Amino acid sequence: MTLPVAKASIKNGERAKYAHYSGRYGAGITPRVIPFVLELTGRLGDCADKLVNELAKLYEGDHSVRIPDEKLKSARRFFMMRLGVLLARGNAAMVRNFRNRIETAQV
């Protein structure tokens, strides 16, 4: 279950990314930009979740390439695990940066 505040935060992040790239590249960029937003806890935003699910299904309709569903599920799990590691590293870097600022301010 996602808290309303967290869901609103994700939606705000997605809108901010659309606004940023639309302002930089024009309004026509919106259908081509996929805002990949994560909560600090690792929950994917709606657009990011849809992208990950679509990527996992890429070969399902292509009968010339046969990838068992279990391999697709495994690939999605691996991607999400790696994404979790990157998120944890980013969160740790933010905590270190915050601590350094506090220590510098106290000196």
Average pLDDT over the chain, rounded to an integer: 81
- Residue 39: phi and psi, rounded to 5, are -75, 165
Phi, psi of 38 (to 5 degrees): -125, 145
Check whether 59 has a pLDDT greater than 70. Answer: no
State yes or no: pLDDT of 98 exceeds 70: yes
Local structure of residue 32 (DSSP, 8 states): G
Q: Would you say residue 5 has pLDDT above 60? A: yes
- The pTM of the full predicted model, rounded to 2 decimals, is 0.64
